[in-house]
Copies of this chain bind each other. A is one copy, B any other.
Amino acid sequence: MRILGIDPGTLVVGYGLVLLDGRRYHSNDYGCIRIERKLPFPQRLKLISDATTELLLRTMPDVVAVEEVYVTQNAKTTLRLGHARGVILLAAVNRGHVISEYAPREIKQAVVGKGGASKRQVMWMISQLLALPPENLEEDAADALAVALCHGLRNTGNQIPVTSKLI
């Protein structure tokens, strides 16, 4: 199973392709799409849309797992994040992909074992589970890998090794 995780944003979109091979997960395609802040906002949406479509063509996922944006205290930021997330979902649905959405708490619960886990705990766990060097793992890419892994763990009956839950 090929699961593409996406962490939406208006300036940085994290992505990570998680492959489930038997009972083992791994990833060799993850990173961040960065959008130039100075561009007019509609133009930024176009870049996010184009980059997402390219990503889908390259990774050919069976499922696209998208993080449900945090509803922040700032309504304007929430509205803008909604725009970015909208064009990402559209790119996926336009190519006929299955989409799964997960809230941050669900993702942390599935990956770390507690819904209130810190960013650092998520990054550490992702690097352990996927055997990735933590020093090269950017936060938004880790979040994208986490949502992909969350989909895998929740839909295959696979469990995180118990020892890893002890952090």
Q: Which of A69, A78, A92 gathers the greatest number of chain B CB atoms within 10 Å?
A: A78
Q: Please choose the segment from A79-87, A120-128, A130-138 that sits at the chain B interface, where 4 or more of its residues have CB less than 8 A away.
A: A79-87
Q: Is B93's CB under 8 angstroms from A46's CB?
A: yes
Asked if B69 and A79 sit within 8 Å, CB to CB, the answer is yes
Of all chain B residues, the one with the shortest Cβ separation from A68 is B79
Q: Mark A87-101, 1 if CB is under 8 A from B, else 0.
A: 101101110000100
- Chain B residues lying within 8 Å of A157, measured Cβ to Cβ, are none
Size band of the interface chain A makes with B: 20 to 34
B93→A45 contact, CB < 8 A:
yes
Q: Which residues of B contact A45 (CB under 8 A)?
A: 86, 89-90, 93
- Per-residue CB contact flags for chain A residues 26-61 toward chain B (1 = under 8 Å, else 0) read 000000000000000111011001000000000000
**Does the CB pair A75–B80 fall under 8 Å?**
no
A160 in the interface, Cβ–Cβ < 8 Å? no
Which residue in B41, B42, B82, B94 is a CB contact (below 8 Å) of A83? B82
A82 with B78: CB separation less than 8 A: yes
Question: Which A residues from 131 to 151 make CB contacts under 8 A with B?
Answer: none
In-complex Cβ contact of A42 among B46, B84, B93 (8 A): B93
Q: Is A76 an interface residue (CB 8 A)?
A: yes
- Listed by A's residue number, 19 A-B pairs whose Cβ atoms lie within 8 Å are A42-B92, A43-B93, A45-B89, A45-B93, A46-B93, A46-B94, A49-B90, A49-B94, A75-B75, A78-B82, A79-B81, A79-B82, A79-B85, A82-B82, A83-B85, A85-B86, A86-B90, A87-B87, A87-B90
Closest 3 CB pairs of A and B: A82-B82, A83-B86, A86-B86
